[in-house]
Chains A and B, each alone.
Chain A
Amino acid sequence: MSASESQFRGPSTKVRQRHLSNRAIVNLFIWPTLLLLIAMNVFPLFYSLYLGFTNYSAITRQAPVWVAFQNFSNILNDKNLWGYFATTGRYALLSVSLQTLVGFLLAMLVREKFKGGGILTTLILIPMMISPVVVGLFWKLMYNPTFGFFNALLGFSDPSKAPDWLASRFAGQPMPGLALWAVVIADVWMWAPFVMLLVLSGLKAIPEYLYEAAAVDRASSWFQFWRITLPQVAPLLMIAVLFRTIEAFKSFDLVMGMTGGGPGVQTELISVDLYRIAFLGQFRTGPASALAYIILIIIIAISNLYIKYLNKSKGEG
């Protein structure tokens, strides 16, 4: 078979091609991405930092006025704001721990394969793929004290004796914190399957022969769980916890769909408050930027942990 009969179009050796050096390729491939990211992320960060030191308001036509650290000190002295941080922290704690627990239990339940298990698993993964604001809306409907399904499913047939979740009332009496729990429940609903998926993948990786050796050695079920199952799954759980904690601090869409921060300020997460300061009412851009920076630092700290942990587990894995 001569070269001309070959169906395979091999490289052209006739014409000496000008081809890009490796260096050029790398540059060509990476720089557009990097430039975009820098322009849209780094630059705004610096600009935002600058704004944090001013009292600029986006709706006025006045130029920004330098106020040095005033915004920052206002924030740090604002009790309300600390309250919002606390709310966000509480939300993150409750949500992440419940997600992890439920997800883990789900994984232990689903562990053995059975027919249709794949479909079922896929079905309960749908919640995390839906737009969070839409999820917030579903749950808002479900939580409605008059015609929502949630109370009905729990067995409350008389609305006057039932909890009004999003208004933090129970049988007519105020029950503070209920609304936050309502949001937590919705968040757990969305993300517990994610934890389940994560844990399942870890469980799959445990070799069967470890359990068999334990069987021969007459190891107790507790030992098997503690010494074989858990150590294998723990790194993945850590990833889930860190990842979801970061996301919980950033949480915005879900709450906006469900409560908008209410009732009162019971579900006023820090990102919601930021939105309110910057884009509603007086558009206090300067102070908002300062607050944004503080939030940023907190999240960077947590993210650092996450990345470090990722790399460590990748190294071992």
Chain B
Amino acid sequence: MSTIELRQVEKKFGDLHAVKPLDLTIQDGEFIVLLGPSGCGKTTTLRMISGLETVSGGTIWLNGRNVTWLHPSARDIAFVFQFYALYPHLTARQNIAFPLQAQGEARETIEKRVDEVVKLLRIEHVLKAHPGQLSGGDQQRVALARALVRRPAAFLMDEPLGALDADFRESMRSEIKRLHVLQHATTVYVTHDQIEAMAMGDRIVVMSAAEIQQIGSPSEVYNDPSNLFVARFIGSPGMNLVKGKYADGIVKMSGLDNNYAVPQAWKGALKKGLADGGEVIVGFRPEAAQINDRGNLVGKVYASEMQGSSAVLHLTINENEIIHIRTDRLIPFPLDTLVHFDINPQMARFFNPKTEAALKPEVTQ
């Protein structure tokens, strides 16, 4: 069992609150991703779990042990760094064997385990080289091997693919995921790339400004973002967010006279959840809108992007707001033409502009 628990863990650097007190429970064998923009506190949180950073408050529990003040080497974790951190004057093989040697393992055990991970990561051919002679991808594989060789309770990875070329990143992504499945190991993975997070995570912890914004499975954070930040950050392009005023079941969107009829399920929630004046933000994913000549909403073509089998259409709703619609209609859309569309009622979401929080539909059961 390798569960990780963070209880009210926080970190301050002087006056700077790098991580506000947070609670997080990571299940045994889970691949959890800490996702967020630079400076949101995700890396600091990871480093606190590893022990490379001390906590300013709170406790960290690994398998029921309080490890808050333990030295990193005593926590039974492995850490994979963004820049590989391979010892430059040892060969790849020596790098991989090193953690076991430091632990005082027997020679045969070391040989056996090293061979195992080398085979797993398919790096037999680079063993004799020094890190400086290897490509980024190979270096990262060696770093992964070094992490794997100890069979720790948890793997902590700090943007391990950040330093690699784009094509490498994709293949390494699937390798890491595959390794995770084979090893059944608890993994905490930090990244700023939401595509990576969505592809790899069992659960995603979206962070911003030193706080957790939402914890959920990829589909949860994608389809039911809990606030505007998550809505914008997840998905590329992000969720469309259009301002409007709500009254009596209709959202008036400024410009182009759009009146959006709110789905039945939301009417009550909207009435309750909005302040006077009824300002609301309507959110919908590019796939949630459908181009329909008899659609109720309209926008003006700003640009269109061909993306192979589908296209993304950028429409202006009013002067400042551009929404993106994904369509598989490949007919040309000249600039400034008016396009009508509908929003799929199942996929519409609403946000309170002041609190930025998502509104929850009433459960009418």
Contact = CB atoms under 8 A, between A and B. Distances in A.
- A joins B in a complex: yes
Interface of A: 207, 209-210, 212-220, 223, 227-228, 231
Given A210-B87, A220-B102, A215 B81 contact: no
B265 interface: no
B71 A215 contact: yes
Interface stretch (B61-69, B72-80, B205-213, B293-301): B72-80
Interface in B81-126: 81-83, 85-90, 98-99, 102-103
A213 B79 contact: yes
Given A216-B77, A220-B102, 14 more contacts: A209-B81, A209-B85, A212-B85, A213-B79, A213-B87, A214-B87, A215-B52, A216-B52, A216-B79, A218-B99, A218-B102, A219-B98, A231-B88, A231-B89
A223 B87 CA distance: 11
8 contacts: A213-B79, A213-B87, A215-B51, A218-B74, A218-B99, A218-B102, A227-B87, A231-B88
B52 A212 contact: yes
B50 interface: yes
A231 B99 CA distance: 20
Interface string B261-296: 000000000000000000000000000000000000
A216 B78 contact: yes
B102 A217 contact: yes
A234 to B, nearest CB: 10
Nearest to A226: B89
A114 B77 CA distance: 32
Of all A-B residue pairs in the complex, the 7 with the closest CB atoms, nearest first, are: A218-B73, A213-B85, A209-B85, A217-B99, A216-B72, A218-B102, A216-B79
A215 B82 CA distance: 16
A32 B52 CA distance: 58
A219 B95 CA distance: 12
A218 B102 CA distance: 6
Contacts of A215: 51-52, 71-73
Interface in B111-147: 146
A213 B102 contact: no
Indicate the member of A207, A216, A227 with the most B CB atoms within 10 Å: A216
Contacts of B79: 212-213, 216
A212 B81 contact: yes
B18 to A, nearest CB: 17
Contacts of B85: 207, 209-210, 212-213
A214 B95 CA distance: 11
A227 B86 CA distance: 11
Contacts of B81: 209, 212-213
Nearest to B52: A212
